[in-house]
Structure 1
């Protein structure tokens, strides 16, 4: 390109893809200045104006403001500095948009009232410290000081969601639902009741490594049978049930008899809250853990198998 060539605004517009009005606006703002004027006062621009305006168009398309662009074209700031600052600002905007989208997506599925919508928005925009206080309040309602000092301390720690600094929309949406669940008084009471019942099942409370409760034992001993598609009334279920009752009898320190079988069916039935499965599913999404196997199918199978044998 001939450095001595001068262009009219119209010619500059054709070369840069910008409109005459836009180039005139940039010229009035001092972002690109004319190299000369005709005797009639028309502006004429040098060859460098083409490169300058091309850069301006690119930066504008990337969302930079005119003040920052002028400082770049005037070499007051480097492109790398402006790019880094703008990228950081976009990160904040993206985070905000992700939160908004997650709330709106959740709202679209459940048709909330205006009050529920407001609460969803508030839960999504809590700070890290506020989120932790909310979960601590939930766990304090479920576990008392006695539980903190025993095997349930590890269970409590495993129930803490840790939303990352840059969560995905799925994680934000999961956090909102989990937070709502943790605020549900009936859910809190149910989990608390389960913890107390399982604590009472242990024959002693001496210090030592965590001991499995009957729910954990059931998951371990029956999970494979459920996954294999064995029906609770099939002959193949007999050794599974026998192993289950023997294992639970050992945990609670009771004889493996009909009374224990009836008690175990009742205890598992009381523990079968689908909301607990949902809590741990949401927790896995938030913390980036593998999806847990749902507990409800295992408990349903076990309760049915125990009741069928008690009725014989």
Structure 2
């Protein structure tokens, strides 16, 4: 009998052995998570080694910030306990990833303000203050939805937005924070006349033609991207053919030599969004990294390839 009593502890003794507080032990006991081995003659709780093991497990799970219902499922060992633990861990990992991303953006933003000349700090604080942390791409996507022709097919619109809207990096350099903040300011600024300027090609080709155009351009940009990554000089080839075919389909024309000459002239008169693409390239490429192509840089490369092609043919 004495050996049995030696294995039973009061709530204070259990707390001491586990390195916890009496309040913590009482809370988990009240929740039904700690098994009581017995009660004293005065009605006080007595715990055995099983309760100590259970308490250590609970505290380990709590260090992972798992909620109490998930802990209960794990320690009760039901058929779905392993799946419940995996699901809870996956959820918590996702939450931690978001928290780390927030901290990385705040750190880079602080460095950006700290390291700039004093005269620029107020302006940079205004830029950064307009951003969420981490920033949302919704204002950039909204800019393009206004800029693109109305009634574009959903899939064509989604493909263009995926290519045109740079995702904020998880671990940004201060220069990337500044570039994204400037993109945000650019795309949310009021426009003259109350709307974004529509490219001439939209008015000429109409909604259906514009949808064909942008679907074809995305294909051409994808073909050109490896050439840009390898810093190849612009030259006629598959990418240029796809580029010209996109415009030809929009204008219900054929890819002829005359069309290529007229296309080059028409493109030279189009409004440009060079500043947007310059900033997007900075967001996509950390300092010292390999330049990542954007639709803007791919378009520049293809326009030069078209110019060279026309020159050679002439």
Q: TM-score, normalised by structure 1?
A: 0.50
Query: Highest CA radius of gyration, 1 or 2?
Result: 1
